[in-house]
A and B are shown apart, each in its own frame.
Chain A
Amino acid sequence: MSRYTSATDADRREMLAAIGAGSVDDLFADVPAGVRLGRPLDLPPGRPEQEVYAYLRDLAARNVSTEDEVSFLGAGMYDHYVPAIVDSILARSEFLTPYTPYQPEVAQGGLQVMFEYQTAISELTGLPVSNASVYEGPSAVAAAGYLAKLHQPKRTRFLVSRAVHPHSRETLATTSVGWGTTVEELPLRDGVTDADALRSALGDDVSAVILAQPNFLGAVEDLEALVAPAKEAGALVVVQCDPLPLGILRPPGDFGVDVAVGEGQTLGNRLDFGGPSFGFFAAQEAYLRRMPGRIAGETTDVDGRRGFVLTLQTREQHIRREKATHNICTAQALNALAGMIYLAWLGRAGLVELGELLLQRTAYARERLAALDGVELLHEQPVVREFAVRLAAPVERVIERCAAEGVNPGHPLGPDYPEFADGLLVAITEQRSRGDIDRLARVLEAAVAAERETARA
């Protein structure tokens, strides 16, 4: 039974008397007899805190986390280190427990965090406007598609690189059904988006061209070659990017892209089996009044003091209703705060240093793996912290063999890319040392050899 209410039997009696009701049942008199449940909910009885803890601890112990194995899984979320100050600040009830800042006089902390966060996202992406967060990466791509639809309603085709995250492509397709926009894929050549195919697919009915940087196969796309023809055709260019490598990668704004979106997990958010994290959404100035979600702005109070408010709310559902630029209400404010703290912790120099470290370790891992018998590179494009290889043995079985040795070698590409049925996507973070990479090489080599042996036998 709940321990989170205070009403005693005496309270109930007196409160019912004040209401003028005979019983709690009377308060539910409007519920017609035909729809009353009339029986207890068929759920187990409530349990004391220590038992709930023990049960959930036991469930958690059945998961193999990145603390339990040497993991090279990435493919959209990455096991970067989350500094302790993130936990410490996020645990503060003043950040953890308020609602969306509808009363700005008592929400200056949260609003200023949003303002700082928007500044940081603008810096990273090279785009002048950012909102205060959306749900996560793939739905951010869909939100960018909706912005493109609102901007040029008569254009009805999205061109999406096949190297955009499979979840993003699918989410965009799910969501755009309602707008009547079709989603077409741009093929790949050597691990990156085929610029010739883009040029021949473009036309004045293309609403947006959607790319990823780095792309799902880890490759750095030549955005310059892709953005120019898309812009010429009058399409919006949307780039889904990982914010962490933007410490060393040329930011999307430099190429003149219209919208940059992405998954923010890599900035100080834990893996959490996929969420909650946050999505970011940044754009050129021209789209400010079509942006989805909350935006914090600076202003002054009646005494002239600096303050922050939610602004441009006439875009939003609670004001504009059916004419809103998006339906989003609750987003990911706390996760965006984690992102901001993380970026402050890394700082101007640290973001670059971390990027260079990932570049070096990833290059080392790529070389080591490519040298193994039965392993070759899937593409030779530049990479920052993730790369794809082909295995001369069934990928899923190789993964199982490695896992039995305490190493998770990466994500199999086959389920999403039948053309890369032999593909394995390997991610490196600063938490994977040279020793870990060497161990991966040993374990992977042995696993591939063992599977080839099995196949021969």
Chain B
Amino acid sequence: MTDENRLHADPGVEPEEPAARRDVHLTETAQQRDRARTIFEKSQAGRRAFVPPELDVPERDPATLLPDRFRRTEPARLPEIAEPEIVRHYNRLSKRNFDLDTGFYPLGSCTMKHNPKLHERVAALPGNARLHPLQAPARAQGALRLMWELQAALGEISGLPHVSLQPSAGSHGELAGVLLTRAYHEDHGQRRTKVLAPDTAHGTNPATVTMAGFEVVKVGTNPDGGVDVEDLRAKAGEDVACLMLTNPNTLGLFDPAIEEIAHVVHDAGATLYYDGANLNAVMGRARPGDMGFDIVHFNLHKTFTQPHGGGGPGAGPIAVSDRIEPYLPRPQIVRREAENGQGPFFDLELDRPKSIGRLRGFQGNYGVFVRSYAYILSLGGDGLQEASETAVLNANYLMARLKETAGEHLPPAYDRTCMHEFVLTGGPMKRALGIRTLDLAKRLLDHGYHPPTVYFPLLVEEALLVEPTETETRETLDAFAESIGEILAEAAEDPEAARNAPYTTPVRRLDEAGAAKRPVIRQPL
């Protein structure tokens, strides 16, 4: 093995002797420098990939078609590079990423479950991939039917019958939800100014509330990890528009007081919003609609297997109760029963007088809908329930295993049955071993794992949020628990090992403070 190879061990593959690596002399080879060179730096004047179609129409003077004052004077300085080198450049870059198809990715709150390969095939069918969004509904019946059937399935899964697929991601669905709440109250002649959210909430919740023109009021968490109902009662006044909640919450705990919470919120005349990021815990077991929620968003890129793409695309459909339905975004996908023995007709309904309006162009991220619907068809109702049950089983099993291998220094923040994810606290580890959660996470990279979510939720000291998902094997969970144990044992001997990790990744710890202080966000050309 050359030094170069050792330093660039595939992050998805567990190195043979991770601990030994940190003694390797870290000189930078020419190939390493090359790997961080941008495609702009590889550009050479005169090279090209694109061959333009011939000009098959009579040529007009370009200056008369587009006068000079509208014209760019210098070409945009795009790379000049031939196809083989474009392919090599991006394939090499790809090898500097850790990915789900290669390794365990227990990133809490993100539901990194397997992305079935069938989905890419069906999304790429020309009838889907090359369908123009403004095609007349009569010539897009397959797509509209798929969307309508997906809406119906999401309605059944959530227990909220009215679905809009339009929002582009979870945060976009949240924005839709809070705007729906605003429209609902205004339509009832009420001006409410506050939205409640637990202190454990995802950051998108408070950010959304501000964008929608409300003030965020935090609700406390009780010692068992649930909503502090007394605090909620005190804050749920007439000026409160909505409570945004995740259940199970970001601690991975199902709130047993959910019925009472819903009662308090509804008594105050507010709506109850369900952040669906954690829906993977409860499919077929419990439904937000039955818990009293008025609005839920789904993360199709979490629960319903749309690949994350390194930061999107996703989709964030919403489902709502009867009282919120009139305000749903437009257009809605509707099924019209046809006359004279024809089949049903699927249509875009634009005439919705109380609608909050559009949240984006066209009909939403249809390509994501195709993949998620393929998933629902493959699993069926029983399979979705089994997925959630196995996710919960895997999480509890991993928590139990970690109590054995790491319980002394890295105990569960709430030592009780969890749902699909759980939180560990690195407080004892920090005090006893002198390493922080961040150090543990970085050392896990050397063990070939993507670390769990770190430092979230905020109210747990040195938090580590672990979500194994249902698609991992028991062997994978066992090995992960062993690795954590090994890292802690190593830290007891030599805390510097973790503090300086990682060693085997394409680069080591990066200067994030420096990057923010003097931002370089594009290639100087």
Q: Are A350 and B49 in contact (CB under 8 A)?
A: yes
- Point out the residues of chain B lying under 8 angstroms from A242, CB to CB: none
Q: Are A330 and B78 in contact (CB under 8 A)?
A: no
- Point out the residues of chain A lying under 8 angstroms from B451, CB to CB: 103
- Point out the residues of chain B lying under 8 angstroms from A20, CB to CB: 400
Asked whether any CB of chain A lies closer than 8 Å to the CB of B234, the reply is: no
**Which of A224, A246, A305 touches B32 (beta carbons < 8 Å)?**
A305
Mark each residue of chain B from 485 to 521: 1 if its CB lies under 8 Å from any CB of chain A, else 0. 0000000000000001010011111111011100111
Q: Are A98 and B356 in contact (CB under 8 A)?
A: no
How far, in whole Å, are A359 and B366 apart by their CA atoms in the complex? 31
**A to B CB contacts below 8 Å, 27 in the list:** A11-B474, A32-B258, A35-B259, A56-B373, A60-B125, A62-B127, A76-B133, A98-B308, A104-B510, A106-B11, A106-B506, A108-B93, A109-B95, A178-B213, A222-B69, A273-B128, A273-B363, A309-B515, A311-B516, A320-B207, A321-B207, A323-B210, A330-B312, A334-B307, A337-B90, A347-B81, A359-B65
Q: Are A63 and B52 in contact (CB under 8 A)?
A: no
Q: Are A306 and B357 in contact (CB under 8 A)?
A: no
Listed residue (B216, B363, B512) with the most chain A CB atoms within 10 angstroms of its CB = B512
Q: Are A299 and B510 in contact (CB under 8 A)?
A: yes
Given contacts A59-B127, A278-B313, 11 further A-B contacts (CB under 8 A): A12-B393, A16-B393, A58-B142, A73-B134, A88-B87, A92-B90, A92-B91, A123-B525, A298-B515, A382-B70, A434-B56
Asked whether any CB of chain A lies closer than 8 Å to the CB of B296, the reply is: no
Interface size class of A (residues with CB under 8 A): 35 or more
**Which of A24, A64, A346 touches B389 (beta carbons < 8 Å)?**
A24
How far, in whole Å, are A139 and B312 apart by their CA atoms in the complex? 15
Q: Are A27 and B417 in contact (CB under 8 A)?
A: yes
- Point out the residues of chain A lying under 8 angstroms from B229, CB to CB: none
Asked whether any CB of chain B lies closer than 8 Å to the CB of A185, the reply is: no
Q: Are A92 and B127 in contact (CB under 8 A)?
A: no
Q: Are B216 and A108 in contact (CB under 8 A)?
A: no
Mark each residue of chain B from 305 to 348: 1 if its CB lies under 8 Å from any CB of chain A, else 0. 00111111111000000000000010000000000000000000
Q: Are A317 and B512 in contact (CB under 8 A)?
A: no
A436 shortest CB reach to chain B, Å: 10
How far, in whole Å, are A137 and B251 apart by their CA atoms in the complex? 35
Q: How many A-B residue pairs have CB under 8 A?
A: 741
A427 shortest CB reach to chain B, Å: 10
How far, in whole Å, are A137 and B133 apart by their CA atoms in the complex? 14
Q: Are B216 and A322 in contact (CB under 8 A)?
A: yes
Q: Are B505 and A330 in contact (CB under 8 A)?
A: no
Query: Interface SS of chain B: helix, strand, loop or mixed?
Result: loop
Known contacts: A52-B118, A360-B65. The answer to whether A300 contacts B112 by CB under 8 A is no
Q: Are B365 and A276 in contact (CB under 8 A)?
A: yes
Q: Are B83 and A97 in contact (CB under 8 A)?
A: no
Task: Please report which residues of chain B, range 88-118, place their CB below 8 angstroms from some CB of chain A when the two chains form the complex.
Answer: 89-91, 93-102, 105, 107, 110, 112-116, 118
Q: Are B329 and A174 in contact (CB under 8 A)?
A: yes
Q: Are A306 and B204 in contact (CB under 8 A)?
A: no
B64 shortest CB reach to chain A, Å: 9
Asked whether any CB of chain A lies closer than 8 Å to the CB of B367, the reply is: yes
Q: Are A347 and B508 in contact (CB under 8 A)?
A: no
Known contacts: A107-B310, A321-B207. The answer to whether A61 contacts B142 by CB under 8 A is yes
A419 shortest CB reach to chain B, Å: 18
How far, in whole Å, are A275 and B133 apart by their CA atoms in the complex? 8
Q: Are B396 and A27 in contact (CB under 8 A)?
A: yes
Q: Are A44 and B381 in contact (CB under 8 A)?
A: yes
Task: Please report which residues of chain B, range 56-92, place their CB below 8 angstroms from some CB of chain A when the two chains form the complex.
Answer: 56-60, 62, 65-67, 69-73, 75-81, 83, 86-87, 89-91
How far, in whole Å, are A222 and B514 apart by their CA atoms in the complex? 42
Q: Are A138 and B98 in contact (CB under 8 A)?
A: no
Q: Are A345 and B95 in contact (CB under 8 A)?
A: no
Q: Which 5 pairs across A and B sit closest by C-beta, in order of nearness?
A: A274-B362, A334-B309, A60-B127, A274-B133, A46-B380
Asked whether any CB of chain A lies closer than 8 Å to the CB of B135, the reply is: yes
- Point out the residues of chain A lying under 8 angstroms from B192, CB to CB: none
How far, in whole Å, are A346 and B75 apart by their CA atoms in the complex? 12
A82 shortest CB reach to chain B, Å: 9
- Point out the residues of chain A lying under 8 angstroms from B512, CB to CB: 104, 299, 309, 311
Mark each residue of chain A from 107 to 119: 1 if its CB lies under 8 Å from any CB of chain B, else 0. 1111011011011
- Point out the residues of chain B lying under 8 angstroms from A298, CB to CB: 515, 520-521
Asked whether any CB of chain A lies closer than 8 Å to the CB of B19, the reply is: no
Q: Are A138 and B360 in contact (CB under 8 A)?
A: yes
B153 shortest CB reach to chain A, Å: 6
Q: Which residue of B lies closest to A27 (CB)?
A: B392
Asked whether any CB of chain A lies closer than 8 Å to the CB of B421, the reply is: no
Q: Are B254 and A24 in contact (CB under 8 A)?
A: no
Q: Please choose the segment from B165-173, B265-273, B426-434 that sits at the chain A interface, where 4 or more of its residues have CB less than 8 A away.
A: B165-173
Asked whether any CB of chain A lies closer than 8 Å to the CB of B206, the reply is: yes
A298 shortest CB reach to chain B, Å: 4
- Point out the residues of chain B lying under 8 angstroms from A346, CB to CB: 49-50, 78
Q: Are B365 and A247 in contact (CB under 8 A)?
A: no
Mark each residue of chain B from 238 to 265: 1 if its CB lies under 8 Å from any CB of chain A, else 0. 0000000000000001111011000000
Asked whether any CB of chain B lies closer than 8 Å to the CB of A374, the reply is: no
**Which of B43, B122, B145 touches A53 (beta carbons < 8 Å)?**
B122
